Amino acid sequence: MTATSPLAGLRILDYCWVGAGAFVTKMLADHGAEVIKVESRARPDNLRVAPPFKPNVDLLEASGYFASRNSNKKSFALNMSHPQARGIAQRLAARCSVVTSNFRPGVMERWGLSYDDIRRENPSVIYLTMPMQGLTGPNKEYVGFGSTIAALSGLVERSGLPDRAPVGTGTHYPDHVPNPGHGVIAVLAALYERGRSGLGQSVEVAQLESTVNVLGPELIDAATNGRPFVRRGNRIADAAPHGVFPCRGDDAWCAISIRTDEEWRSFVDVLGAPVWATAPELATFSGRKAHEDRLEGLIAAETGHRDRFELMRELQKWRVPAAAVSAADDLVNDPHLRARGYWQRSEHAAMGSILMNGLPFRVAGRPRPALRAAPLLGEHTWEIAADVLGMDRAEYDRLVAERVFY
């Protein structure tokens, strides 16, 4: 990051671990904020021991998952279970513009790091907290991660085939999309307001509520019309066919979505106008929807001998929405992503050269910022103790010996 990065000069004290909160502060760090991540060997971020791992590397430094969520951050190894750590954390919070956490209610308060505690010394602080179900209410003490939140929010109930049990989203979806997205917007909005008023504020993002947001139209339908969630597999109400169809090769698929009669005619042409596809009942959307079961089987028989990428390119040429289902190696070697310079390599102190996701948007006239690899645990402890807290080496060494810095 450089002095011209959008958030350069913004210092954040980060108590966000694992998925959603760590993604919030990653995005802020990737745009120039100085993010000081607090953890210790006594209690490291759980994501440090989450797979995948680089072989033959110390376990706490080998996680690709941790590396993905913590680029451009600094690591401050402060053992919060030690009584002396709390005073140090309070001094550090007084010197930061933003404080973030995603612990359950009560943890930051026990450490003397509540919003009220911090604003006494730092009245302009922005304080983001991301509890699972909020700071109030009967379930405020509940804990969980993306999969738990997905279940409570209704996402899991919506996922799967009509005659099968719910299957979930296949990933901790709330941790990757709605919760970090709302968290970043909340911080930026509070910073904008502070720029106008000079006032800090406490901002609460209840992760359940930001995930429920994803199902807005269906919740309105349930509340207004009394219709329950319905599992439809890959189908949706306004397209037919709309699904994933087999292609040539092992576990090869192409996603196809047809909403208009014009798209259907183009699709039939690409298939070579098989006799079944010219049936009058398939000429209209309502007819295709009524015969969706049979239609999917007929399409699968046509696509099964085709290459998924060739089929995608041919359909896209005729403006038919289609996409090959990509595996990990397809994405890493994707010529389009490579042509745009999306993938970046960075040197990690323990893992060596690692592949990293680039920033997913660009600002006209600016080069895409280079990303610094995730920090080793405690990599920046001395730097922060000296430069931010004004600590001398003798005090620092004493605190290391007493495992305050650990």
Instruction: State the catalytic residues.
Output: 175
Q: CA dihedral in degrees (81, 117, 25, 361; nearest 10)? A: 180
Task: Identify the sign of the CA torsion 59, 359, 322, 219.
Answer: positive
CB under 8 Å to 3, separation ≥6 — which residues? Answer: 9
Distance CA 310, CA 322 (A): 11
Q: Exposed (0-12), middle (13-18) or buried (19+): which is 224, by Cβ within 10 Å?
A: exposed
> Residue 326's CB: how many other CB atoms inside 10 A?
14
> In angstroms, rounded to a whole number, what is the distance separating the alpha carbons of residues 321 and 7?
37
Tokens 């509340």 sit on residue = 223
Q: Is 75 exposed, middle or buried (0-12, 13-18, 19+ CB in 10 A)?
A: buried
Report whether 325 contacts 254 (CB < 8 A): yes
Asked whether the beta carbons of 73 and 24 are under 8 A apart, the reply is no
Angle CA(364)–CA(368)–CA(369) in degrees, nearest 5? 130
Count Cβ atoms within 10 A of the Cβ of residue 136 and give its class: 0-12 exposed, 13-18 middle, 19 or more buried: exposed
Token pair of 108 as six digits: 């930051």
Q: How many angstroms separate the CA atoms of 28 and 12, rounded? A: 9
Helix (H, G, I), strand (E, B) or coil at 132: coil
Question: How many Å apart are CA 271 and CA 303, to the nearest integer?
Answer: 8
Length of the chain: 406
Cβ burial of 307 (10 Å; 0-12, 13-18, 19+) is middle
